């Protein structure tokens, strides 16, 4: 995989375990891990000099060999409904997008994991941008750090502005699992951002080996971008289905769900596209497919963007789809469109992806086989 890796130790992206290993390798006592992580994630240190209670020797070492690097905010837009979208510069020079959606007591941050995406789901604006590079763990966590800092004053009545994180921004998280796994660990760690494992969600288009790997490394929540009730249709809409068909995907999810314990389920994301997958027959087929599967279903009426050939479904079809699934016993929500006036709605994130040459079929094969290893 293409990585734009830092030359120095990327402090923001080190999980507690990784930080402990790095510091014990330098002969530091275990309590240093706590000190450094608190400076980074609780006290928002932007310079190593700010860490006044760590030893001079460690600070001098960090000065030469480590860095605190978060993505630089290039622009911020605020929607009429309060949704915010930041354009942030990644190390590669391209720009990613991060979206904050306030809803009462909940504040959800939609975080990017890659610059662009190689998977090319047919309805997705990010997929149309091609692929440029993976984000580092520090850049993934950095999006949360930026959001918390920016919004802190506005949400001072609660512990955190961001109560939920979803890795549903640009990119396929499980094609960048090496960076996503420590980033998620920091988000859930009390020495990091202390967000409940129920409220940090990794979303995948269906990278089955990545789901199997997740089971060994995290118990964050999992969402699947299903979008079709059968392989023939899913092969067209979500091309990775040709490699990992629905039965194989649901099998891996069932296995992961066992890891989560009772009362936790997998989220099924289903974008409704007018005339494509929003008909009564699709609702019936979806309900049969998911019978007995531990899940809740999110229906997402498609948000059109310039150049897409797909259309938003009618309100009547959306209502039928939801009512049918609820009638069959599924917990089913229709996701309200948020931030559409600033192109921040689901599926509209495009960023600014330069050097898209890696979107060739050959690169796609390499990316997928790297995920399998």
Phi first, then psi, for residue 332 (nearest 5°) are -135, 120
228 contributes a contact to ligand SF4 by CB under 6 A = no
Q: Are 144 and 187 in contact (CB under 8 A)?
A: yes
Q: Nearest distance from residue 170's CB to ligand SF4, in Å?
A: 6
- Residue 295's H or E segment, with its range, is strand 295-301
Closest CA to 6 of 70, 50, 49: 70
Read off the tokens for 26: 């330098």
Q: Are 354 and 94 in contact (CB under 8 A)?
A: yes
Nearer to ligand SF4, 126 or 136 (CB): 126
Residues 155-184 interacting with ligand SF4 (rule: CB under 6 A) = 170-172
Q: How many residues bind ligand SF4 (CB under 6 A)?
A: 12
Among 23, 37, 45, 121, binds ligand SF4 (CB under 6 A): 121
| Residues 6+ positions from 335 with CB-CB distance below 8 Å | 298, 299, 300, 301, 346
Q: Which residues pair with 114 in a beta bridge?
A: 134
Question: Among all chains, which residue has been given the structure tokens 């399998």?
Answer: 372
Q: Nearest distance from residue 208's CB to ligand SF4, in Å?
A: 14
Q: Strand, coil or helix: what is 67? A: strand
Site string for ligand SF4, 196-215 (x = CB under 6 A): ---------x----------
Site string for ligand SF4, 15-54 (x = CB under 6 A): ----------------------------------------
Nearer to ligand SF4, 164 or 225 (CB): 225
Tell me which residues are annotated as active site: 97, 346
Q: Nearest distance from residue 104's CB to ligand SF4, in Å?
A: 27
119 contributes a contact to ligand SF4 by CB under 6 A = yes
Q: Nearest distance from residue 121's CB to ligand SF4, in Å?
A: 3
What single-letter DSSP state applies at residue 38?
Answer: I
120 contributes a contact to ligand SF4 by CB under 6 A = yes
Q: Strand, coil or helix: what is 133? A: strand
Q: Strand, coil or helix: what is 152? A: coil
124 contributes a contact to ligand SF4 by CB under 6 A = yes
351 contributes a contact to ligand SF4 by CB under 6 A = no
Compute how many other C-beta atoms are within 10 angstroms of the C-beta atom of residue 106.
12
Closest CA to 170 of 139, 132, 126: 126
117 contributes a contact to ligand SF4 by CB under 6 A = yes
Binding site for ligand SF4 (CB under 6 A): 117, 119-121, 124, 126-127, 170-172, 205, 225
């Amino acid at each position: 995989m293409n990585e734009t890796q830092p030359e120095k130790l990327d402090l923001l992206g080190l999980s507690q375990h990784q930080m402990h290993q790095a510091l014990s390798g330098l002969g530091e006592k275990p309590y240093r891990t706590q000190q450094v992580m608190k400076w980074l994630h609780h006290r928002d240190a932007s310079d190593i000099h700010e860490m006044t209670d760590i030893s001079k020797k460690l600070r001098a070492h960090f000065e030469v060999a480590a860095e605190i690097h978060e993505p630089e905010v290039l622009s911020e837009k605020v929607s009429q409904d309060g949704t915010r979208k930041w354009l942030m510069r990644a190390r590669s020079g391209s720009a990613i997008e991060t979206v904050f959606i306030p809803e009462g007591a909940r504040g959800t941050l939609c975080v990017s994991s890659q610059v662009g995406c190689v998977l090319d789901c047919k309805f997705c604006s990010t997929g149309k941008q091609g692929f440029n590079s993976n984000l580092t763990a520090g850049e993934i966590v950095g999006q949360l750090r930026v959001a918390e800092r920016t919004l802190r004053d506005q949400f001072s009545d609660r512990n955190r502005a961001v109560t939920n994180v979803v890795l549903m921004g640009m990119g396929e998280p499980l094609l960048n699992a090496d960076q996503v796994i420590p980033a998620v660990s920091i988000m859930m760690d009390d020495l990091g951002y202390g967000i409940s494992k129920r409220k940090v969600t990794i979303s995948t288009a269906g990278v089955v080996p990545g789901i199997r790997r997740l089971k060994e490394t995290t118990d964050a929540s999992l969402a699947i971008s299903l979008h079709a009730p059968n392989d023939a249709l899913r092969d067209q809409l979500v091309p990775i289905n040709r490699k990992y068909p629905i039965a194989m995907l649901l099998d891996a999810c069932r296995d992961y769900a066992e890891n989560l314990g009772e009362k936790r389920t997998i989220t099924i994301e289903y974008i409704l596209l007018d005339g494509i997958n929003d008909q009564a027959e699709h609702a019936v087929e979806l309900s049969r497919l998911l019978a007995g599967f531990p899940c809740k279903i999110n229906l997402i009426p498609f948000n059109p963007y310039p150049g897409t050939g797909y259309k938003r479904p009618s309100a009547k079809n959306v209502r039928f789809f939801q009512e049918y699934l609820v009638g069959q016993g599924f917990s089913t929500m229709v996701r309200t469109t948020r931030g559409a006036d600033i192109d921040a709605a689901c599926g509209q994130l495009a960023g600014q992806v330069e050097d898209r040459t890696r979107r060739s079929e050959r690169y796609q094969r390499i990316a997928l086989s790297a995920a399998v290893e």
